[in-house]
């Protein structure tokens, strides 16, 4: 039976041999990706240290995507154990190895921006922590979630789902006051709407968020008016209420208003807890 050292040497030789065979093909693919502006992340010295010897050998041997997949599995295990620092670390490595896989950026965002925050907002393990500590942790993971989306969009600027995910996270004042930014949400929805094959309703969402942005009332009114006239499909209660509010805010004469009376509000949901 081969010794552990011999086995390791065999695996290393196999990986390096496989990498040598793949090298011409990988070089061609890398050149194509760089030409398209979508090249994979480089294996920096810091990344080498974080991957360790076995992980580095696998990456050099052409198993970059496999290593990234394993890292996301490890992140899921860490999430189940509420080890949020490890979740962050695993996804940081996975996204650096495969920056053009948009799902890794979205998943890392959800783990940080929803799961970690839910844990520190509600889990009984944290009842002994001061409220200030919990708030700091929530804000930290919200910022980390947003950073994942920033970096993900930098690597995938034409991905409408990433941009829309970003906008959604910034747009709910009741559930996420620590991340609420309607001005930036409007920008991200507009970015999502401009991507190839994006749903048309992203344009409406962008205008609705702009209506909540201080100082942008006139521009928002103009956009919502255009949408109102463009199609009856845009005559949604939310758009009508926003348009009615802006017409009053901008002191538009009653006889010129498109929405003289606001549609009734939907039944209010129960209170949304942010912290215990």
Confidence (pLDDT) at 260: 86
CA-wise closest residue to 164 among 223, 224, 118, 204: 204
pTM assigned to the model: 0.75
Q: Could you give the CA distance from residue 28 to residue 55 in angstroms, rounded to a whole number?
A: 23
pLDDT band at 3 (very low <50, low <70, confident <90, very high): low
Region 54-80: mean pLDDT is 73
CA-wise closest residue to 213 among 240, 186, 251: 186
Q: Could you give the CA distance from residue 272 to residue 152 in angstroms, rounded to a whole number?
A: 29
pLDDT band at 131 (very low <50, low <70, confident <90, very high): very high
pLDDT band at 193 (very low <50, low <70, confident <90, very high): very high
Mean pLDDT (the chain) is: 81
- Report the share of the chain in percent with pLDDT over 90: 62
Q: How far is CA 83 from CA 77, 88, 119, 138, 245, in A?
A: 9, 9, 11, 15, 45
**At residue 21, does pLDDT exceed 50?**
no
**At residue 190, does pLDDT exceed 90?**
yes
pLDDT band at 64 (very low <50, low <70, confident <90, very high): confident
pLDDT band at 5 (very low <50, low <70, confident <90, very high): low
The C-alpha torsion from 170 through 173 and 176 to 177, rounded to 10°, is: 100
End-to-end CA distance of the chain: 57
- The pLDDT tens digits of the residues spanning 208-233 come to 999 999 999 999 999 999 999 999 99
CA-wise closest residue to 149 among 202, 208, 114, 107: 107
**At residue 118, does pLDDT exceed 50?**
yes
The answer to whether residues 207 and 227 touch, using CB atoms and an 8 Å cutoff, is yes
């Amino acid at each position: 039976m081969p010794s552990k050292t011999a086995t390791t040497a065999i695996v290393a030789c196999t990986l390096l041999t496989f990498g040598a065979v793949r090298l011409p093909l990988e070089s061609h693919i890398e050149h194509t990706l760089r030409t398209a502006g979508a090249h994979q992340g480089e294996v920096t010295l810091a990344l080498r240290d974080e991957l360790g010897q076995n992980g580095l050998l696998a990456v050099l041997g052409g198993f970059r995507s496999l290593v990234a997949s394993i890292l996301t599995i490890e992140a899921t295990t860490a999430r189940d154990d509420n080890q949020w620092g490890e979740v962050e670390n695993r996804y940081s490595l996975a996204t650096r190895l495969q920056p053009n896989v948009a799902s890794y950026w979205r998943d890392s965002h959800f783990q940080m921006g929803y799961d970690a925050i839910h844990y520190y907002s509600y889990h009984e393990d944290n009842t002994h922590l001061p409220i200030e500590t919990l708030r700091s942790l929530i804000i930290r993971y919200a910022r980390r979630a947003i950073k994942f989306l920033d970096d993900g969009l930098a690597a995938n600027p034409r991905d409408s789902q990433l941009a829309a995910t970003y906008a959604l996270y910034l747009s709910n004042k009741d559930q996420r006051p620590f991340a609420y930014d309607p001005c930036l949400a409007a920008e991200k929805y507009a970015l999502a709407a401009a991507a190839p094959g994006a749903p048309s309703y992203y344009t409406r969402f962008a205008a609705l968020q702009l209506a909540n942005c201080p100082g942008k009332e006139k521009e928002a009114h103009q956009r919502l008016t255009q949408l109102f006239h463009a199609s009856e499909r845009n005559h949604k209660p939310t758009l009508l209420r926003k348009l009615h509010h802006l017409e009053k805010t901008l002191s538009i004469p009653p006889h010129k208003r498109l929405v003289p009376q606001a549609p009734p509000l939907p039944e209010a949901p129960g209170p949304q807890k942010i912290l215990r």
